[in-house]
């Protein structure tokens, strides 16, 4: 086993968002130093870091300086260019490796990888011209979803096509560039598995999480998804297989669609801590953030056991529409934990924070989390 980077070492994080913030929080608790680089200032990660560097990801001079000043580097933002991680890898270990990010940040590459390695994936066709889109529609049928190959998240760069008359508008709306056309899956539920893999290949996971989306954005996550055992086992096996194939060191999330007939399909992968794993911060022996730190530093991985039933709900900027939400009202339930990311500007759809609630079981926890959120804006 490669020697471990012990507490006191410096972890670099490319990206300045909430995923970096929570990773920084776990890292600092373990006694690591944290540096972050992103184009922003006073970022959610920067607020908790020892050093915040403000630079564009394609400023390779800044990236080399940054990489030289840390003992290991990770990323919390999926659209960091390959040239950036390639540059950083010359000076310090990047975990997960830049090539993992390269596969996952582009839907075409991601689907090619999944198909080539025999993992189940939503039926799709690659599309790069209007003509090809026409053939793809004929091949996979409608309804379907057209998605840009790169830079898409939370439903951005996506258009649902339900009839031939909508094809032109969909093509224009995604910017007429590289894309994939997928079958619109009539799923029973959406689930995710967050895996963590150490430098020695040890694999841990937090089980299967049930996810509810609103307007294509994650809304509620509940651990211990009530899905049949074969689907549960398959979801974990697929996640482990993906992480082994890509030789991932660190945390990676796989999002799945589960159909009523039990068929499981990978929707997408994210090679970093994931919103559907935020409950682990409060509810698990080891959170996804601490596990990320342990994995990239070559420490033994911690237990992922759930301490008690919990559920998470996201807090989007929309909650600020009528002014500051009523935080005291949400915290009246003493089994509610509030996380705010320190973002200065609340915009509709922007992830500003989340709530984790505990309950007698997961559904009770879900109810309490939703009630706490409703209390934020109750008259």
Segment contacting ligand AMP by CB under 6 A, of 7-15, 184-192, 280-288, 363-371: 184-192
Q: What whole-number distance in Å separates Cα of residue 130 and Cα of residue 104?
A: 25
Lay out the sheet containing 72-75: strands in order across: 51-54, 33-38, 10-14, 72-75
Give the DSSP letter of residue 319: G
**Pattern 192-221, binding to ligand AMP, x per CB under 6 A?**
---------------------x--x-----
CB of 259 to ligand AMP, least distance (A): 10
Distances (CA, A) of 130 to 135, 158, 176, 378: 9, 15, 7, 48
Total residues contacting ligand AMP by CB under 6 A comes to: 16
Q: By CB under 6 A, name the one of 76, 110, 166, 190 that touches ligand AMP.
A: 190
Task: Please identify, using beta-carbon distances, which residue of 152 and 309 lies nearer to ligand AMP.
Answer: 152
Tokens linked to 344: 């200065």
Q: Is 221 helix (H, G, I), strand (E, B) or coil?
A: strand
Site string for ligand AMP, 18-57 (x = CB under 6 A): ----------------------------------------
The answer to the question of residue 310 lying near ligand AMP (CB under 6 A) is no
* Strand spans (E) along the chain: 10-14, 33-38, 51-54, 72-75, 124-127, 144-148, 158-161, 179-183, 187-197, 203-214, 217-222, 250-259, 264-270, 310-316, 336-340, 351-358
| Residue 106 sits in the site that holds ligand AMP (CB under 6 A) | no
Place of tokens 């601490």: 290
How far apart are the C-alpha atoms of 273 and 343, rounded to whole Å? 19
- Residue 236 interacts with ligand AMP (CB under 6 A): yes or no: no
Is residue 78 a contact residue for ligand AMP (CB under 6 A)? no
Q: Minimum distance from CB of 154 to ligand AMP (Å)? A: 6
Task: Name the residue with the smallest CB distance to ligand AMP.
Answer: 185
Nearest approach, Cβ of residue 68 and ligand AMP (Å): 35
User: What are the residues binding ligand AMP (CB under 6 A)?
Assistant: 122, 145, 152-155, 182-185, 190, 213, 216, 255, 267-268
């Amino acid at each position: 086993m490669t020697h471990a980077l012990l507490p006191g070492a410096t972890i670099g994080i490319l990206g300045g968002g909430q995923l970096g913030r929570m990773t920084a929080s776990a890292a600092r608790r373990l006694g690591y130093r944290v540096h972050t680089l992103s184009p922003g200032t006073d970022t959610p990660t920067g607020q908790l870091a020892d050093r915040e560097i403000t630079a564009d990801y394609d400023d390779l001079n800044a990236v080399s300086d940054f990489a030289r000043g840390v003992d290991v580097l990770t990323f919390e933002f999926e659209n960091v260019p390959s040239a950036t991680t390639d540059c950083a890898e010359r000076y310090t270990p990047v975990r997960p490796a830049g090539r993992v990010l390269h596969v996952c940040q582009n839907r075409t590459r991601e689907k090619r990888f999944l198909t080539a390695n025999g993992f189940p994936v939503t039926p799709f066709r690659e599309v790069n011209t209007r003509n090809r889109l026409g053939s793809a529609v004929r091949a996979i049928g409608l309804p379907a979803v057209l998605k840009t190959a790169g830079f898409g998240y939370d439903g951005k760069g996506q258009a649902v096509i339900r009839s031939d008359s909508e094809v032109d508008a969909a093509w224009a709306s995604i910017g007429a560039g590289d894309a994939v056309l997928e079958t619109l899956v009539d799923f029973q539920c959406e689930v995710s598995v967050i895996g963590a893999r150490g430098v020695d290949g040890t694999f841990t996971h937090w089980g299967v999480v049930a996810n509810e989306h609103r307007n294509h954005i994650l809304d509620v996550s509940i651990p211990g998804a009530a899905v049949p055992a074969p689907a549960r086992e398959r979801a974990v096996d697929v996640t482990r297989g993906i992480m082994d194939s890509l030789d991932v060191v660190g945390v990676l999330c796989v999002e799945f669609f589960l159909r009523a007939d039990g068929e499981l399909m990978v929707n997408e992968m994210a090679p970093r801590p994931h919103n559907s794993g935020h409950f682990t911060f409060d509810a698990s022996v080891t959170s996804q953030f601490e596990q990320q730190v342990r994995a990239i530093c070559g420490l033994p991985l911690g237990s992922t056991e759930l301490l008690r039933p919990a559920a998470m709900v996201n807090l989007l900027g929309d909650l600020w529409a009528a002014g500051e939400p009523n935080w005291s009202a949400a915290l009246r339930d003493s089994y509610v934990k509030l996380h705010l990311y320190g973002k200065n500007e609340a915009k509709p759809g922007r992830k500003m924070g989340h709530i984790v609630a505990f309950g007698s079981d997961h559904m009770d926890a879900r109810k309490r989390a939703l009630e706490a959120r409703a209390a934020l804006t109750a008259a």
